[in-house]
Amino acid sequence: MRVVFRAVSGEARPGEALVITGPNGSGKSTLLAILCGLLRPTKGVVRYRRQDGDDLPRDEWGRHLGVVAPSMAVYEELTALENLRFYARVRGLALEDAGHRALLERVGLDPDRSTPVRGYSTGMAQRLKIAQALLHSPSVLFFDEASSNLDPSGQDWLEGHVRLLIDEGRTVVLATNDRREMTWGSRNVSLVG
């Protein structure tokens, strides 16, 4: 069994942005997958603490976490609006279409576009993935190479939005090797390859 990393520990508080860096294959994406509950670590634990001090049950993590990662895709047979409607429904959100449309406009997508996501450029699909992650106003956001496929205006928007999220008291975790994204965080964690 290959050990990806050992002895990783730390905590992030509301309003804090953590940047995870490291060479290709060092385990940045694996660490993010563990942090958001998609992978179980062979040893150790991940905990999310509620404001009342209790640990958040694992079943409820999804409600409080938003994730944008290259290994996670939205449904390419559906339109952008249909994707957001679907994620809102399965998350039990009471959002109306107006909310979805506003969110799509916020990330720079046309809500009236009837093309399925299959016809989107990688940058547009990335914007939709970001909209999906913001849909339920999560307390903790994970961005894995989030600006990688965005054009300069998209990168500017994402940087502004990440800073806004931090100001709102949300925790942001960025896994990146992009020099610009590295400046968005208040703390850096380097993984050795």
Partner 1 sequence: MSRWLAEALAVAAKDLRAEFRTRVALNSLALFALTTLAAVSYTIGPYRLATEDRPFLLSVLLWIVIFFAALAGLDRSFVKEEESHTAPLLRLAAAPTVVWAGKLLYNLVLIFALMAMLAPLFCVLMGFEIAMPWRFVLVLAAGGYGLAVITTIVAAIIAQALTRGALFSVLSLPLLLPLLIIVIEGTTAVATGDLASYSESLRAIVTMAGAMTIVSAFLFPVVWRD
DSSP code at position 171? E
Name the β-bridge partners of 19: 174, 188
Binding mask 101-140 for partner 1 (x = CB under 8 A): ---------------x---------------x--------
Q: How many CA atoms lie within 13 Å of 55's alpha carbon, on the beta-carbon side? A: 6
Q: Which residues contact 92 (CB under 8 A, 6 or more apart)?
A: none
Binding residue (CB under 8 A) for partner 1 from 74, 107, 131, 165? 74
> And the tokens for 143?
């961005």
Binding residue (CB under 8 A) for partner 1 from 16, 30, 37, 151? 37
Q: How far is the CB of 67 from partner 1 (least distance, A)?
A: 6
Q: Which residues contact 95 (CB under 8 A, 6 or more apart)?
A: 88, 135
Should residue 41 be labelled a site residue for partner 1 when binding is judged by CB under 8 A? no
Q: Show the CA angle centred on residue 134, arms to residues 133 and 137, nearest 5°.
A: 120
Should residue 82 be labelled a site residue for partner 1 when binding is judged by CB under 8 A? yes
Taking alpha carbons only, the member of 181, 131, 183, 169 closest to residue 16 is 169
Closer of 126 and 132 to partner 1 (Cβ): 132
Should residue 167 be labelled a site residue for partner 1 when binding is judged by CB under 8 A? no
Q: How far is the CB of 21 from partner 1 (least distance, A)?
A: 22
Q: Which residues bind partner 1 (CB under 8 A)?
A: 33, 36-38, 40, 59, 61-62, 65, 67, 69, 71-78, 82, 86-87, 89-92, 116, 132
